């Protein structure tokens, strides 16, 4: 029973009168001391078990991480320091700080009373009473001794071991023993692995021996990662080999675990290629294709007990050609200064050009390969010393077309997908083009004719000389040089003339003696400056073969041509008369056959018919205009041919040119267009009664003017024909007179021979 507490006044009065000594019972002191040792022992065992568990877990964790990742010595040192610090913190918190903590008697007393409520605070009162023993009154001291006796009596039946919970302690100890046992078993069974791990702890660089050994090639070490550069949107075929040498085995599968830049993750299985057998092959291949890579991808390879970490495919831009130029030094015959020509894919250069192909790409280059598909040979490419993105390809003298296949590799190790094709086409020097014709010369000429050539002489670069070449029978051809103005390459009216009456300055004789009955062959030739081969480039026009005739024979030929032109013009005249008749058949005020007005429907039909007649008139006028011009040009050609053959007379020129050709031009260029203008007014006048009669009358009057002009020209042609007939008659008389004279001469010679024979 606990003594009642003293009030403060009574305690002070009592203390002032007497002070009694008080001691804690021996049993109580012994129990408290025993409990302190039990607490410290419990803490020691529990702390040691916790530390052992931490050390064992650290051992297994280090073993796993070292076996799995095989970190570098530096990483192992950092990790070891971290483990040591963690173990130190664990030892301090779970063992040392608790083991050396202060355990007051009052705290232990409270611990006992909390676990044994029957003591009813007598133990705490007994322990705390010792502090105030000197200040207690006799009554209080007596009560305290009574309480101490009661506490001692109750403690005699208390088992201090019941205060502790041994379950968690036993579990920790069991776990600690189990972990220690696992390490011991590992060290016993896998002695080599345990010893190897100890060497790894000592920072050995020797990798862990594994049953599976994976190998991948082509990756470069960059910042602790193995990286390979891949062109954007390209495919990459990953090849992995599992060694079958030195007791290694192939895994059942090799897994890829990849990570994308946006945080997504995934995994896939590589494809096993065949079934390799140990002793027959060195390794088992696996492959996997990454398709259309658009961004970087990091991945690990896991196969069996081997791992390959931190592999990365780095996506880069593919090298591309951004500029191509050809530095050209042209051959001497072109007379051109050196020039740099930009091109894209294909370029044409003159034959004989010396050139260097300058190429620029978008990235710095590591190497270049150039293959000539034509000559089947590799070409040398020289890198620029100033710009790693540029290189040059020297080319030989341009003789044939060349197709260059260019492969470039940049500093990222990426090449172009397909070889770039650069086509250098050689443009051969073309033979000069000579396009000429005879103007004012027909198929026959007189021996004294001058033959004009008109047209153009062209060459792809330049013509150095041009000439007319004439040849009679099988004699050597004669060459007549053309003036420099004829080789400008422009279309000009006259290139030059070949004068059959030309004489030699030395002998004053004709350089080309022609007789009627012979044939003259003429052609125009030109030569350029091409000098790469022995044979020069000479271009020739068509060959003009002309018959050499007498003056009278040529006049006869021209007269027949005049007759043909007159017959053509007679047909034109007749067609013009028919056109006028068609013009008069247009009904401006349509009426029935009885003279009565037509119904509206019939009027529409008659209007459509009249419009068709107007269209026919216009078509005839256009056709007759061109035909009339053709006849006029035909007569002008006769005049020119007479002049070129030097048989023209003033009277004949007056008749053909002034009396026929010029009036024909007047009809075609003035009268016919006026008629066409009047006829064009008819379609609009058909719908206007007050205008239609006047317009039709003006058109008919103009057509009469044209017909009258044509009739006058036709009359002059008939006069000329009569003149030609008279000339032909005189020509026949002259011919008969020549024949009679020759017959008389022959008869006289015959008589003279007979007289000589009689003698």
CATH of the domain at 507: 2.60.40.10
Residue 8's pLDDT is 42
Give the mean pLDDT of 698-719. 88
Q: Is 32 helix (H, G, I), strand (E, B) or coil?
A: helix
Q: Which residues contact 127 (CB under 8 A, 6 or more apart)?
A: 24, 28, 32, 105, 106, 109
Rounded Cα distance between 704 and 701, Å, is 5
Answer whether residue 326 shows pLDDT above 50: yes
Residues whose CB is less than 8 angstroms from the CB of residue 66 and which lie 6 or more positions away in sequence, other chains included: 76, 197, 200, 208
Q: What is the mean pLDDT of residues 431-453?
A: 88
d(CA 95, CA 98): 5
- Report whether pLDDT(1) > 50: no
- Do 139 and 179 lie in a common domain? yes
pLDDT, tens digit (0-9, with 9 covering 90-100), for 635-648 = 999 899 988 988 88
**477 and 330 belong to one structural domain:** no
* 524/400 same-domain check: no
Q: pLDDT tens digits for 227-260? A: 998 998 888 999 999 988 888 888 989 999 999 9
pLDDT of residue 354: 92
Q: Are residues 508 and 569 in the same domain?
A: no
436 and 524 Cβ atoms separated by less than 8 Å: yes
Residue 338: pLDDT above 90? yes
Query: Which of 457, 482, 461 lies closest to 470 in space, CA to CA?
Result: 482
* Burial readout 124-159 (b: 16 or more C-beta within 10 A, e: otherwise): bbbbebbeebeebbebbbebbbebbebbbebbeebe
Instruction: Report how many domains make up the chain.
Output: 5
Query: What percent of the chain lies above the pLDDT cut of 90?
Result: 22
Same domain, 389 and 467: no
Decide if 724 is inside a domain.
yes
pLDDT score of 340:
93
Residue at 373 is within a domain: yes
At 646-678, the pLDDT tens digits run: 888 887 888 888 889 999 999 999 999 998 888
Distance from first CA to last CA of the chain, Å, rounded? Answer: 217
Report pLDDT for 307. Answer: 84
- Contact criterion met (CB below 8 Å) for 580 and 704: yes
Contacts of 98 (CB under 8 A, 6+ apart): 43, 47
Question: Which domain covers residue 704, as residue numbers?
Answer: 554-744
pLDDT for residue 15: 40
Q: Which of 86-100, 146-160, 164-178, 542-556 has the lowest mean pLDDT?
A: 146-160
DSSP 400-447: S-EEEEEEEEETTS-B-SSPEEEEEEEEPPPPPEEEEEESS--SEE-T
**CB of 26 within 8 A of CB of 125?**
no
Q: Please report, for the domain that includes residue 700, its CATH number.
A: 1.20.120
Can you read off the two tokens belonging to residue 664?
């024909």
**Residues contacting residue 712 through CB under 8 Å, at least 6 positions apart:** 663
Measured between alpha carbons, how far is 735 from 667 in angstroms, rounded to an integer? Answer: 40
Secondary structure element (H or E) that encloses residue 456, with its range? strand 450-458
Contact between residue 500 and residue 447 where contact means Cβ atoms under 8 Å apart = yes
21: three-class secondary structure by DSSP: coil
The answer to whether residues 520 and 566 belong to one domain is: no
d(CA 417, CA 240): 23
706 pLDDT higher than 60: yes
Q: Which of 521, 549, 577 is the last residue of a domain?
A: 549
The two tokens of residue 336 are 């051109």
From CA 255, how far away is CA 301, in angstroms rounded? 6
How far is residue 133's CA from residue 521's CA, in Å, rounded to a whole number? 163
Q: Are strands 420-427 and 346-350 parallel, antiparallel or unpaired?
A: parallel
Query: Is pLDDT above 90 for 397?
Result: no
Q: How confident is the model at residue 97 (pLDDT cuts 50, 70, 90)?
A: confident
| Percentage of residues in the chain having pLDDT higher than 70 | 81
Looking at the predicted structure, is the pLDDT value of residue 286 above 90?
Answer: yes
pLDDT in tens, 727-737: 554 555 566 56
Same domain, 15 and 70: yes
Kindly state the average pLDDT of the residues 536-557.
88
Q: Residues 576, 703: contact at Cβ < 8 Å?
A: yes
pLDDT tops 90 at residue 623? yes
What is d(CA 714, CA 631) in angstroms, rounded to the nearest whole number? Answer: 12
What SS3 state is found at 25? coil
With respect to residue 275, please indicate whether it lies within any of the assigned structural domains: yes
Q: Could you please report the per-residue DSSP string of 16-34?
A: HH--------HHHHHHHHH
Question: Is the entire prediction scored with pTM above 0.95?
Answer: no
| Span of 47-51, 578-582, 717-721 with lowest mean pLDDT | 717-721
Q: Which residue do the tokens 């300055």 mark?
A: 505
> Which among 315, 318, 311, 316 has a CA at the least distance from the CA of 221?
311
Residue 74 has pLDDT above 80, yes or no: yes
* Pair (685, 725) in one structural domain: yes
Q: Which of 132-136, 410-414, 648-652 has the lowest mean pLDDT?
A: 132-136
Quickly state the pLDDT bin for 155 (edges 50, 70, 90). low
641, 499: one domain: no
Please say which residue of 525, 549, 573 terminates a domain.
Answer: 549
Residue 87 has phi, psi (to 5 degrees) of -65, -35
pLDDT higher than 80, residue 541: yes
Residue 152, pLDDT > 70, answer: no
Stretch 62-67: mean pLDDT? 84
CA distance 53 to 497: 122
Cα(284)–Cα(301) distance, integer angstroms? 15
Q: What is the mean pLDDT of residues 105-110?
A: 66
Tell which wins on pLDDT, 229 or 114. 229
Strand partners, 284: 242
458, 489 Cβ separation under 8 angstroms: yes
In angstroms, rounded to a whole number, what is the distance separating the alpha carbons of residues 661 and 653? 10
Among the candidates 427, 445, 460, a domain finishes at 427
| pLDDT greater than 60 at residue 483 | yes
Neighbour order of strands in the sheet with 297-303: 220-222, 225-231, 306-316, 297-303, 255-259, 265-269
Residue 649 sits in the same domain as residue 724: yes
Backbone angles phi, psi at 516, to 5 degrees: -55, 140
Question: Per-residue pLDDT for 592 more than 70?
Answer: no
Tell whether the model's pLDDT for residue 110 goes beyond 80: no
In a domain, 750, yes or no: no
How is residue 281 annotated by DSSP? B
In a domain, 757, yes or no: no
Among 404-413, 636-645, 739-748, name the one with the lowest average pLDDT. Answer: 739-748
Nearest Cα neighbor of 341 from 428, 458, 422 is 422
Q: Report the C-alpha gap between 227 and 339 in whole angstroms.
A: 45
In a domain, 752, yes or no: no
Rounded to whole angstroms, the Cα distance separating 172 from 183 reads: 17
Q: How far is CA 745 from CA 650, 733, 750, 753, in A?
A: 36, 18, 9, 12
The answer to whether residues 75 and 115 belong to one domain is yes
Specify the pLDDT at position 708. Answer: 92
584 and 706 together in one domain: yes
Query: CB of 438 within 8 A of CB of 638?
Result: no
pLDDT at residue 34 in the model:
72
Interatomic CA distance for residues 409 and 387, integer angstroms: 15
> Which structure tokens are listed for 710?
């044509």
Whether 411 maps to a domain, the answer reads yes
Band of the pLDDT at 290, cuts 50, 70, 90? very high
Which position has the token pair 């007994």?
A: 126
For the segment 198-223, the average pLDDT, to the nearest whole number, is 82
> How confident is the model at residue 105, as a pLDDT?
66
CATH of the domain at 327: 2.60.40.1220
Written in H, E and C, the secondary structure of 357-408 is EEEEECCCEEEEEEEECCCCEEECCEECCCCCCEEEEEECCCCCCEEEEEEE
In a domain, 753, yes or no: no
Q: What is the mean pLDDT of residues 573-598?
A: 73
Q: Assess contact for 461 and 352: CB atoms under 8 A.
A: no
Query: CB count, 10 Å around CB of 712?
Result: 13
pLDDT of residue 356: 93
């Amino acid at each position: 029973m606990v003594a009642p507490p003293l009030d403060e006044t009574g305690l002070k009065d009592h203390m002032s009168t007497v002070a009694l000594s008080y001691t804690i019972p021996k049993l109580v002191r012994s129990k408290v001391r025993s409990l302190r040792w039990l607490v410290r022992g419990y803490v020691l065992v529990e702390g040691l078990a916790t530390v052992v568990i931490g050390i064992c877990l650290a051992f297994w964790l280090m073993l796993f991480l070292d076996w799995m990742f095989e970190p570098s010595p530096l990483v192992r040192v950092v990790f070891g320091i971290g483990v040591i610090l963690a173990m130190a913190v664990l030892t301090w918190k779970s063992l040392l700080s608790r083991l050396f903590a202060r355990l007051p008697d009052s705290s232990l007393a409270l611990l006992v009373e909390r676990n044994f409520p029957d003591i009813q605070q007598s133990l705490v009162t007994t322990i705390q009473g010792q502090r105030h023993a000197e200040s207690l009154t006799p009554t209080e001291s007596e009560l305290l001794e009574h309480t101490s006796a009661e506490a001692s009596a109750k403690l005699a039946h208390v088992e201090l071991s019941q205060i502790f919970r041994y379950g968690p302690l036993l579990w920790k100890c069991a776990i600690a023993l189990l972990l220690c046992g696992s390490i011991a078993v590992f060290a016993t069974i896998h002695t080599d692995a345990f010893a190897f791990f100890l060497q790894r702890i000592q920072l050995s660089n020797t990798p862990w021996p594994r049953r599976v050994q994976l190998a991948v090639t082509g990756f470069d070490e960059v910042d602790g990662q193995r990286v390979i550069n891949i062109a954007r949107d390209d495919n990459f075929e990953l090849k992995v080999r599992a060694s079958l040498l030195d007791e290694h085995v192939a895994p059942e599968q090799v897994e890829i675990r990849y990570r994308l830049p946006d945080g997504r993750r995934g995994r896939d299985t590589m494809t096993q290629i065949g079934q390799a057998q140990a002793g027959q092959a060195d390794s088992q291949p696996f492959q996997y294709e990454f398709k259309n890579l658009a961004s970087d991808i990091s991945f690990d390879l896991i196969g069996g007990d081997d791992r390959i970490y931190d592999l990365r495919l780095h996506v880069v831009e593919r090298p591309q050609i951004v500029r191509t130029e050809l530095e050209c030094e042209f051959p001497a015959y072109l007379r051109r200064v050196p020039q740099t020509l930009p091109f894209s894919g294909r370029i044409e250069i003159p034959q004989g050009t010396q050139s260097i192909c300058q190429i620029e790409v978008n990235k710095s280059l590591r190497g270049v390969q150039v293959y000539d598909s034509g000559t089947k040979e590799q070409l040398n490419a020289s890198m620029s010393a100033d710009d790693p993105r540029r290189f040059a390809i020297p080319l030989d003298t341009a003789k044939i077309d060349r197709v260059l296949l260019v492969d470039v590799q940049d500093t990222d190790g990426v090449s172009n997908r397909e070889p770039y094709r650069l086509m250098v086409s050689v443009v051969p020097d073309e033979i000069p083009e000579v396009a000429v014709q005879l103007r004012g010369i027909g198929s026959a000429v007189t021996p004294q004719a001058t033959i004009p050539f008109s047209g153009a002489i062209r060459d792809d670069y330049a013509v150095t000389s041009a000439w007319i070449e004439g040849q009679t029978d099988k004699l050597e051809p004669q060459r007549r040089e053309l003036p420099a103005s004829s080789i400008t390459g422009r279309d000009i009216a006259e290139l030059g003339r070949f004068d059959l009456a030309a004489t030699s300055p030395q002998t004053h004789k004709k350089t080309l003696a022609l007789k009627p009955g012979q044939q003259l062959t003429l052609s125009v030739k030109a030569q350029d400056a091409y000098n790469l081969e022995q044979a020069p480039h000479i271009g020739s026009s068509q060959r003009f073969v002309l018959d050499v005739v007498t003056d009278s024979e040529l006049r006869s030929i021209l007269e027949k041509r005049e007759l043909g032109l007159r017959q053509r013009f007679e047909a034109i005249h007749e067609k013009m008369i028919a056109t006028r008749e068609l013009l008069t058949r247009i009904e401006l005020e349509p009426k029935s056959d009885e003279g009565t007005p037509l119904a509206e429907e019939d009027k529409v039909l008659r209007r459509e018919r009249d419009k068709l007649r107007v269209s026919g008139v216009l078509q005839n006028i256009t056709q007759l205009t061109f035909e009339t011009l053709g006849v006029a040009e035909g007569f002008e050609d006769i005049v020119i041919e007479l002049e070129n053959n030097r048989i023209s007379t003033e009277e004949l020129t007056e008749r053909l040119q002034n009396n026929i050709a010029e009036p024909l031009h007047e009809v075609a260029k003035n009268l016919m267009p006026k008629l066409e203008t009047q006829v064009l007014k008819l379609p609009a006048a058909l719908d206007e009664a007050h205008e239609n009669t006047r317009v039709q009358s003006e058109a008919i009057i103009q057509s009469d003017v044209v017909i009258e002009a044509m009739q006058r020209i036709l009359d002059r042609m008939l006069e000329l024909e009569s003149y030609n007939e008279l000339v032909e008659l005189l020509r026949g008389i002259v011919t008969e007179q020549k024949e009679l004279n020759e017959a008389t001469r022959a008869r006289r010679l015959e008589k003279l021979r007979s007289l000589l024979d009689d003698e």
